[in-house]
A and B are shown apart, each in its own frame.
Chain A
Amino acid sequence: MTTTSIAGSLPGIALVSHCLANQNAKVGEYAVFPGVSPVIGLLRQRGFIIQQMPCPEMSLLGSNRWWQTREQYDTPGYRRHCRALANSVVDVLEARLAEGPRDVVLLGVDGSPSSGVTLTGSASDPNLPWGGRPGSVPSHLVPGKGVWIAELEAVIAERGLALPRLLGIQMELPGYSVEGSLAELDAFLATGEAPSEQA
């Protein structure tokens, strides 16, 4: 096993979206792997502390939830739910950071209405929003963060921690390849440095 942690510094911490370690949490038809995605293997190889986060969609709506767009999740109640989960995540993160400053990365899932980092899912036609009787309504990807990632960042900042470096794993995007995605992740992990002190 090889590691790329910076000499003399503590290993980095990876906050990982729940489904990267548990594909059973995916909404129907989105599980690409049986259980754990290869992202976890690479993080282990690179010596990162892995902190799996709860899935806000799964913990609120369960495994039989419908597909939804970001607009549907963007409600005060769902944001409140995300903030409660985020505080639980930061509880653990604070304990780990008490040992000293570390490089902290946050790995989301691009395309997700909750966990998207650079891309999230939206209704294609603003005049035809998703809702009501389930059916086939067009949606597409738009630049922006999912509701969960946005709330998590807000809670991290409110609790006085430095914001993590962000990467969206693109397993829900057309053209996804395991090799390409891992190469992108590896390059991303290698660019980190342990901060001298947390904000």
Chain B
Amino acid sequence: MRSWPRVKRRVNKPDVRSRLVVLVPDHLVNPAAVATSRPAGLGDASSRILDVLIELGFGLIQLPPATLAAAKVARAIDYALDQLEDYAANGYRTLWLASGATEADTNLGIRLRDECVRRRFTVLEVIEIRMAAPADAVRLDSLLRAVAREPRPAPAARNW
């Protein structure tokens, strides 16, 4: 094994995080996966949306496949919202790219909305993914770029 005697971790000043976090469906990250019930009609659109999110500096929080059993989805939703709530409370911008093109996606979305209501987590911005026409992709692209351009609150001063 390579030896690392008394080597410190590397810190990165300034920290370059975007403070932009987006909750995304599994099929957006894995458009070719069998188990993810990719909505019909999305085609390569999922990959293009992911390309744009990466280019614009969004950090991703990936939802589980919509076809997963309800109890297991609930746990994953809990963990995702735990993190998003904290981001929102600390001035990060939080979005959800919601997919409702299949029944499973719709059901997952309903559970996620219900959990947001139960938590009184109201600041999660929801953007519905609609890809019925080429103009939909253009609209989504423009919207994401507009979000990324908007100024975000500066991080609080640190005392470390």
A interacts with B: yes
The reply to whether B92 and A63 form a contact with Cβ atoms under 8 Å apart is yes
Interface size on A, residues (CB 8 A): 60
Nearest CB in chain B to that of A143: its residue: B1
Cα separation A50 to B10 with both chains bound (whole Å): 26
Q: Which of A53-68 contact B (CB under 8 A)?
A: 54-55, 58-59, 62-64, 66-67
Q: Which of A24, A26, A66 has the most CB of B within 10 A?
A: A24
Taking a contact as CB atoms closer than 8 A, the residue among A24, A88, A175 that contacts B17 in the complex is A24
> Is chain A's interface secondary structure helix, strand, loop, or mixed overall?
loop
How many cross-chain pairs have Cβ atoms below 8 Å apart between A and B? 164
Determine whether A174 belongs to the interface, using a CB cutoff of 8 Å to chain B: yes
**Assembly CA distance A33 to B12 (angstroms):** 10
A74 CB → nearest B CB, Å: 17
Are B61 and A92 in contact, CB atoms less than 8 angstroms apart?
no
- Interface membership of A28, Cβ < 8 A: yes
**Given contacts A28-B15, A143-B1, A36 and B60 within 8 Å (CB-CB):** yes
Closest A residue to B94 by beta carbon equals A24
Given A11-B33, A118-B2, 12 more pairs with CB closer than 8 A: A26-B15, A30-B9, A34-B16, A34-B59, A35-B54, A58-B86, A62-B90, A91-B75, A92-B64, A96-B33, A142-B4, A176-B10
Chain B residues in the interface with A (C-beta under 8 A): 1-2, 4-13, 15-21, 29-30, 32-35, 47, 50, 53-54, 56-62, 64-65, 67-69, 72, 75-76, 79-80, 82-83, 86-87, 90, 92, 156, 158, 160
